[in-house]
Amino acid sequence: MSLSEWLVQKRNISLKKYVSSSNISKRELYENLWIKCNECNFLMYFKTLNQNYKVCPKCYYHFPTSSHDRIQQIFDSDTWYSLNTSLSSVDPLGFCDKKLYRKRLSDMKVKTGLLDAVQTGIASINGISVACGIMDFRFMGGSMGSVVGEKLTRLVEYSTRLKLPLIILCASGGARMQEGMLSLMQMAKVSSALYKHSEAGLVYFSILTSPTTGGVTASFAMLGDIIIAEPKALIAFAGRRVIEQTIKEDLPDNFQTSEYLFKHGFIDLIVCRTELRSKLYHLLLLYI
């Protein structure tokens, strides 16, 4: 018997013992232990993926990750201090599609443990204090409503008063249609606060993750002094099909990816998630 066959046999025996002594099925156990890469089909332990910042160790595909995970991945331990944690969206228009907007909000709060699609706070990277906003795509596709705009604006103003570097990690499907014009107003509000931040001689790093689209791309996502993107991230304003139908031309296969935008000068750096903390630290040293 080869070593690999012995390891497989030993693992199966352990699994049988564990399943027989618990109430979970073997299928559920495998699903909790293993995960397959969406890009290269590489099969790995879920723990291995988490330890690698949810980046495939074989092809470097970046799995979606939460704002809670990003806080642990980027900042020094126990330095994150949340700001404006009580702000929560209401239903100003009484909006209803397949579900009442207020019901959709309450479901998202239960599912994600968040009050809206962004977390803001103060933390440190290797001892350097920064103000940071982290959008979370799990909450209604990271859509930007009144609360997202208000929290980011307050964060920018707070970082300007304290003269702190500012970092915003973007992950969004765009402005939140359930709040209509109120969500579109947030584009100008956050951008205005960023202008004052820049006039004060302070730095702002924008980090684009997949996806970053719509009104977020059209405003604060592309206003960074340095714009960083994760590899192969989807970054766009309008959808690919809409653009093709408008200009009556086929678009390149890699259109609206980090690599395409970098080649054409729209972003400054493409940085793997596993190297982001180190890269941010070295960039901060240039400005403090």
Task: Please enumerate, by residue number, every residue annotated as part of a binding site.
Answer: 37, 40, 56, 59
Annotated binding site for Zn(2+): 37, 40, 56, 59
* Amino acid residing at 94: G
Contact (CB, 8 A) for 251 and 240:
yes
Long-range CB contacts for residues 185-188, cutoff 8 Å, separation at least 24? 185/149, 186/144, 186/145, 186/146, 186/148, 186/149, 186/150, 186/152, 186/153, 186/215, 186/219, 187/144, 187/149, 187/215, 187/218, 187/219, 187/220, 188/219
Report CA Rg, the chain: 21
Find the angle CA(91)-CA(93)-CA(96) to the nearest 5 degrees: 80
